[in-house]
Amino acid sequence: MTVLVTGGAGFIGANFIFYWLRTHPGDRVVCVDRLTYAGNLSTLTEVLERPEFRFVRADIQDREAMDRLFGEEHPDVVVNFAAESHVDRSIEDPEIFLRTNVMGTAVLLDLCRKYKTSRFHQVSTDEVYGDLPLDRTDLRFTEETPLRASSPYSASKASADLLTLACWRTYGQPVTVSRCSNNYGPFQFPEKLIPLMIANALQDKTLPVYGTGRNVRDWLYVEDHCRAIDVILEKGRLGEVYNIGGDHEMENIALVRRICQELGRPESRIAYVTDRKGHDLRYGIDAGKLRQELGWRPAVSFDEGLRQTIRWYLEHRSWWENIVSGEYRDYYEKMYGGR
């Protein structure tokens, strides 16, 4: 089987590629990535020369380039991770989020119909549901929760989800959608909360926390997310949405303090900064449908996952230091400039 992974040089996409090649020997994986600021080809170093793997630098909005690739590879499955995904950046420049997250998804759906791809899977986010009150811990997002996006980023993902599901309704196109809680783990771009705090702590920098730090997120280890998508591809019902949650909600400030403790850094480095515009209060995922229908549940506890993640950033300083310095941008040209 040939699996086309879009956005595969990003955090979750790359981890999915590693997972798939490890657990599905004999399959071919084709990775498409535009290598924007968050796409880092050095992340894929260990698989770049493997015969069952192909990397293609392309923009999923580029219909001609994507049509050519589909014609060459005829993928059996497309898993769409490609997305602009940082809320702060979406507030500053919403248009690029609409182009990539909505129009790019539209191109992929069109080509999947043209080439009769057996499955298109849209990787989405719990942020499409908006937020929950801090004082109602009994409430969680289910797949039936109305979409109430708070940011241009989450609005663009909600739009892509609706387009995907409309293709099922209108064309009978074989699609599934998953909405996950906050991921963490190896290779996460150091603008997100956990890697940013780890990198700043290791460099003895200030640890910036929005507002009071009381915002709550549900944390999901990235490999558990990859396993969940695998299960959905194998056993999920077409035209359905599946929530994927780590079942571990935590206040941001408690998480930052925990990282300080693990790294032996003083909490005095924490600095409260002006809150993000429209900052969601709490995310809480009910993944009961995925557990009951498909038998999935998280395998990695938060304590274990956080320790593994911190250890990875300690052992791979050159990876994130190159990102902080901007040197990672030169990697593609070094690897492929003459090819």
Query: How many helices and strands (H and E) does the chain possess?
Result: 13, 12
- Say if CB 42 and CB 331 are below 8 A apart: yes
Nearest to 103 by CA among 147, 160, 35: 160
**Beta bridge partner(s), residue 78:** 4, 120
Dihedral of the alpha carbons of 160, 173, 225, 260, in degrees to the nearest 10? 0
- Say if CB 280 and CB 131 are below 8 A apart: yes
- Say if CB 1 and CB 76 are below 8 A apart: yes
Strands 249-251 and 216-221, how do they pair? antiparallel
Question: Residue 150 to residues 31, 209, 337: CA-CA distances in angstroms?
Answer: 31, 20, 40
> Quick count: other Cβ atoms within 10 Å of Cβ 261?
10
Identify the H or E element spanning 25: none
Q: Which two tokens stand for residue 49?
A: 């020369």
Q: Which two tokens stand for residue 30?
A: 């084709």
> Quick count: other Cβ atoms within 10 Å of Cβ 265?
18
- Say if CB 283 and CB 132 are below 8 A apart: yes
The residues assigned a catalytic role are 126-127, 153
Q: Rounded to an integer, what distance in angstroms lies between the CA atom of residue 211 and that of residue 205?
A: 19
Alpha helix stretches (DSSP H) within 147-240 = 152-171, 193-202, 222-235
Q: Rounded to an integer, what distance in angstroms lies between the CA atom of residue 305 and that of residue 303?
A: 6
Nearest to 193 by CA among 217, 226, 212: 217
Nearest to 54 by CA among 68, 73, 82: 73
